[in-house]
Amino acid sequence: MKRYQKLLGPILLGLCAWGVVRGYCAKQGECRQPILDVIEVLPMYNLIVFGCYALAKIGLGLIAFKDCSEDAALLDEDIQAARKDLTKRGFKF
């Protein structure tokens, strides 16, 4: 199962549940005004929470990112060798 499928399923399920509750409260008229106010802003709240979750995942990924100093040194050596080879062939930097 792909990541977007894992995220899209609960989002669609939550939207359907929200629509049912909102429709029931609007049709029956039995819900009090504070409950209706909460129901109205629930999708926006969920969007903000999802944004915070996404930022936290990105931040934690950056914190846990490993530096590969040995590989960086090897890459620098390869770049220098390629530059020397291109200079021999007449390429100007």
Q: What is the pLDDT of residues 6-28, one digit of tens each?
A: 888 988 999 999 988 888 887 77
Q: What is the pLDDT of residues 48-78, one digit of tens each?
A: 998 999 999 999 999 988 888 888 899 999 9
Distance between CA atoms of residues 37 and 14, nearest Å? 17
The residue ranges of every structural domain in the chain are 3-65
Q: Is the CB of residue 91 less than 8 Å from the CB of residue 82?
A: no
Distance between CA atoms of residues 55 and 53, nearest Å? 5
